[in-house]
Amino acid sequence: MANEKEVVIDVKNLSVGFHVRGKKTNVIRNISFPVYRGETLAIVGESGSGKSVTTKTFTGMLDSNGFISGGSIIFDGLDLAKFKTNDDWLQIRGKRIATIFQDPMTSLNPLLTIGYQISEVLILHHGLSKKEAKEEAIKLLAKVRIPNPEERYNDYPFQYSGGMRQRVVIAIALACRPEVLICDEPTTALDVTVQAQIIALIKELQEEYKWTTIFITHDLGVVANVADRIAVMYAGQIVEYGTVEDVFYHPEHPYTWALLASLPQLGTKDEPLSFIVGNPPSFAGEIIGDAFAPRNEYAMNIDFVMEPPIFKISETHWAKTWLLSPNAPKVKKPKVIEELHLRMKGAATELKRQEGEDYE
């Protein structure tokens, strides 16, 4: 699967740091991964693991105290890691690579009408006339299922609900026909029913427009829905990378195990949920060994002294843990991980009954 696919963004040995109070932090630590064209790559991991910082480098949107300290980001023969000025980014940001953020108001101006904000993009990027832009904008609003788009065209953002605002942001992204759409927790602030609709909309439009999605979320349920591939991040590194099946059904990194095992959906009433003890490491100092070691119940002595290399598990799947070393003792995965599908199937009985479908 992996080999024939075309890579649209190729990240190689990327490192990112920030200037904080006269010191430099090292927040993204030498990561490499491909993003395949037409697919959805989900990036998961704890808060602060570097999901947003990683993708912000794709559009030159790092905060002003941030800098790329090494590596490359190859997109269509260009190395985005070398881009410096706003002029460099002009043809890329928002045009070929667009971003949808958690809070739609980061992308919308509260003082301008919804219609104006979409038309503006169309005039700017596609050189449409005012009238053409308005027609096109209304079409786009209809596309993202805003009811009565002609009437709602002249509304201000505050007149829209959170879910509708996010639809408008999607419409603005659509207006640019991006090749890559970065969705940074686009549904985290929304109600589950609205979230389900927005996700369905993004998937549907992706089918039609054939873009590539990078989907950042901490919700493994959402990941199961949207992802073709998953990158699991921990402390500024990708610790496991594989297809959605690889990562859900055959995870190999103890951090992935811990993340999956803490899902309340896997819990049964009579046993406490498992959780990850402690906190992620600080980026202020140097991280020695495997960054996850202090919280890892499977940690071995070597984890405290030496960073693990990447171990290939299959053509599509790799993980960065000493447990995969041929010399490591064999360990049993947590029971809930082995039973994940079984337990979820149990929990999904109501769906089976309701739809009369077979959830094998």
Partner 1 sequence: MSKKNLEKPPVSKDVLSPLSNTEPLSVEHPTAQDLREDEMVESVSGMDSSYQEIFNGEEKVESEIPAPKKHKNALDPKDDEFEKGRDITRGTPADDIIVKMRDVRISFKIGTLERVIINHLNLDIKRGEILGLVGESGSGKTTIGRAIIRINKVSGGEITYNNVKISGKIPKKRERLLKTKIQMIFQDPGDSLNDRANIDYIVSEGLRAFHLYDDEADRVNKVTEMMQRVGLRPEYLSRYPHEFSGGQRQRIGIARCMVMNPEFIVADEPISALDVSIRAQVLNLIKQFQQERDLTVLFIAHDLSVVKYISDRIAVIYAGKIVELCSANRLFEAPLHPYTKALLTAVPIPDPKIERKKKIVVYNPMQHHYVKSDAPEFREIEPGHFVRCNTPEFEAMKAELARLGGEKK
What distance in Å separates the CA atoms of residue 226 and residue 220, rounded to the nearest whole number?
Answer: 10
CB 254 within 8 A of CB 230: no
CB 101 within 8 A of CB 34: no
> What's the half-sphere exposure (Cβ side, CA atoms, 13 Å) at 337?
23
Q: Pick out residues in 279-318 that bind ligand ATP (CB under 6 A).
A: 283
Site for ligand ATP contains 52 (CB under 6 A)? yes
Rounded to a whole number of angstroms, the minimum distance from the CB of residue 287 to ligand ATP is: 12
Site for partner 1 contains 355 (CB under 8 A)? yes
Strands (DSSP E) along 136-179, which ranges? none
| Residue 279 CB partners (closer than 8 Å, separation 6+) | 295
Among ligand ATP, partner 1, Mg ion, none, the one that 347 touches (CB under a kind-dependent 5 to 8 A) is partner 1
What string marks each residue from 150 to 189 as x (binds ligand ATP by CB under 6 A) or -? ----------------------------------------
DSSP per residue, 197-234 = HHHHHHHHHHHHH--EEEEE-S-HHHHHHH-SEEEEEE
Q: Tell me which of 49, 166, 212, 213 binds ligand ATP, using CB under 6 A.
A: 49
Q: 65 or 268, CB closer to Mg ion?
A: 65
Tokens describing residue 352: 């089976």
Residue pointed to by tokens 């559009």: 59
What distance in Å separates the CA atoms of residue 76 and residue 73, rounded to the nearest whole number?
Answer: 10
Site for partner 1 contains 72 (CB under 8 A)? no
Among partner 1, Mg ion, ligand ATP, none, the one that 61 touches (CB under a kind-dependent 5 to 8 A) is none
Q: Pick out residues in 153-192 that bind partner 1 (CB under 8 A).
A: 191-192
Q: Comparing C-alpha atoms, which of 98, 60, 112, 299 is closest to residue 181?
A: 98
Rounded to a whole number of angstroms, the minimum distance from the CB of residue 38 to Mg ion is: 24
Site for partner 1 contains 294 (CB under 8 A)? yes
DSSP 325: S
Site for partner 1 contains 201 (CB under 8 A)? no
Site for ligand ATP contains 48 (CB under 6 A)? yes
* C-alpha distance across the termini of the chain, in Å: 23
Q: 45 or 178, CB closer to ligand ATP?
A: 45
Among partner 1, Mg ion, ligand ATP, none, the one that 66 touches (CB under a kind-dependent 5 to 8 A) is ligand ATP
List residues binding ligand ATP (CB under 6 A): 18, 20, 25, 27, 45, 47-53, 63, 65-66, 218, 283
List residues binding Mg ion (CB under 5 A): 52
